[in-house]
Amino acid sequence: MTKALLETETKKPRKPLSGKAKGLLLILTPVVIFLFSLCIGRYYVPIPDVVKILLSPFVPLEHTWSPTMQTAILVVRLPRLILVALVGASLSISGASFQGILKNPLVSSDILGVAAGAGFGASIGLLFSLNLAWVQVLAFSFAMLAVSLAYGINSLYKRSSTLVLVLCGIIISSLFSSLVALMKYFSDPNTTMASIVFWLLGSFSSATSSSIFYFAPPMILGIIILLLFRWRINVLSLDDKEAKALGVNVKRDQGIVIFFASLITASAVCVSGLITWVGLIVPHIARMIFGPNNKKVLPASVLIGVSYLILIDDLARTLMPNEISIGILTGTIGAPFFGYLLLRRRVGWS
């Protein structure tokens, strides 16, 4: 009798985590990963020293760490990881926003030609040997130009729709991709072409505190606006007539979401180059955990995106003696994972 009872107890299904538990786990995970990532690299720093170094500007502490440790943490790793976290959050929430308003779970944050436009702008800067600041400014300018062109062409149609907007984005993306190839054709194969190709593959090796000063504000602003609009994205994912019946100005709200999603994507591309798959797969992971409600999916995408891209950057920094371009790793990991999602039929809204 006792044996039968024990067998029955062991066969009881485990209770799934509650919504609050999932949320707490999602919040703690990027914090733990961030601290762990500060420890690892060419020069290992123990976690107690990392915490002391981070607190030292605010709390008077006895210096038990070396100047090399302090430089590695505060000058090299901390600015880089802050930018990695912001880029991961930006690409993820912009991807989730585009998937919501375009009613298509297979689109990504560069659907309107943002990445291709940024790549063309950066290629111009690298072709003429401009400094990094100008390369980033040109990348940002052409990324926003690509979005404006796609949205402008779409507005010429009397009965414009999300399908027309996506097609316009594909046209603009193809145009700028061809122009990038043209930049490669005119560049010096021994110097400039290598710089263009390396930038297009994506990397945080040039991340500095000045990059945070220039590009963190637009990314943070865009993330906050999209989080505030997450309930409207739920409405925009409905039919246009239903959305209008609920009192939503579809054109205006859709334009606001597209602008800020493109803004943070352009800012992210300026910092790190082209990083693929993040804006496509992270929102799907969030939906697998929380369902289709964008009020939960968007914040979850931000936190998952931070954790995911920091882990990828850790691999890029530590797997090989020379740093691997992060775009290679995101593509290598993202494509098979998305194939797994397709096989599991988990790419829908339910």
- Tell me if 169 is assigned to some domain: yes
Supply the Cα-derived Rg of the chain in whole angstroms: 22
- Tell me if 243 is assigned to some domain: yes
- Tell me if 292 is assigned to some domain: yes
- Tell me if 6 is assigned to some domain: no
pTM of the model: 0.86
CB-facing half-sphere around the CA of 140: CA atoms within 13 A: 18
Query: Where is pLDDT greater, at 34 or 139?
Result: 34
> What was the pLDDT predicted at 5?
43
Q: Which two tokens stand for residue 83?
A: 């930018």
Q: How many domains does the structure of the chain reveal?
A: 1
pLDDT at 164 over 70: yes
- Tell me if 33 is assigned to some domain: no
- Tell me if 333 is assigned to some domain: yes
> What was the pLDDT predicted at 175?
92
- Tell me if 81 is assigned to some domain: no
Which single residue is written with the structure tokens 């992060």?
A: 326
One DSSP character per residue, 196-224 reads HHHHHH---TT--HHHHHHHHHHHHHHHH
> What was the pLDDT predicted at 12?
53
> What was the pLDDT predicted at 15?
61
Fill in the amino acid letter for 211. S
CA distance 108 to 347: 13
Of 111, 312, 84, nearest to 212 (Cα)? Answer: 84
Of 50, 97, 34, 65, nearest to 260 (Cα)? Answer: 97
> What was the pLDDT predicted at 85?
96
One DSSP character per residue, 48-104 reads HHHHHHHHTTTS-----S-HHHHIIIIIIIHHHHHHHHHHHHHHHHHHHHHHHHTT-
Q: Which of 9-18, 219-228, 255-264, 285-294 has the highest mean pLDDT?
A: 219-228
Of 333, 330, 325, 329, nearest to 198 (Cα)? Answer: 325
CB 264 within 8 A of CB 192: no
Domain with residue 218: its CATH number is 1.10.3470.10
* CA dihedral (325, 211, 281, 38) positive or negative: positive
What's the N-to-C CA distance of the chain in angstroms?
43
pLDDT at 14 over 70: no
Query: Where is pLDDT greater, at 21 or 216?
Result: 216
DSSP for residue 14: P
pLDDT at 349 over 60: no
- Tens-digit pLDDT profile for residues 216-264: 999 999 999 999 998 888 888 877 777 777 777 888 888 899 889 988 8
- For a pLDDT cut of 70, what percent of the chain falls above it? 91
CB 298 within 8 A of CB 227: yes
Q: What is the mean pLDDT of the chain?
A: 83
Residue 194 lies in domain: 93-343
Neighbouring residues of 173: CB distance < 8 A, sequence distance ≥ 6: 110, 111, 112, 113, 115, 116, 117, 146
pLDDT at 99 over 60: yes
Q: Provide mean pLDDT across the span 334-338.
A: 81
pLDDT at 148 over 70: yes
- Tell me if 225 is assigned to some domain: yes
CB 338 within 8 A of CB 280: yes
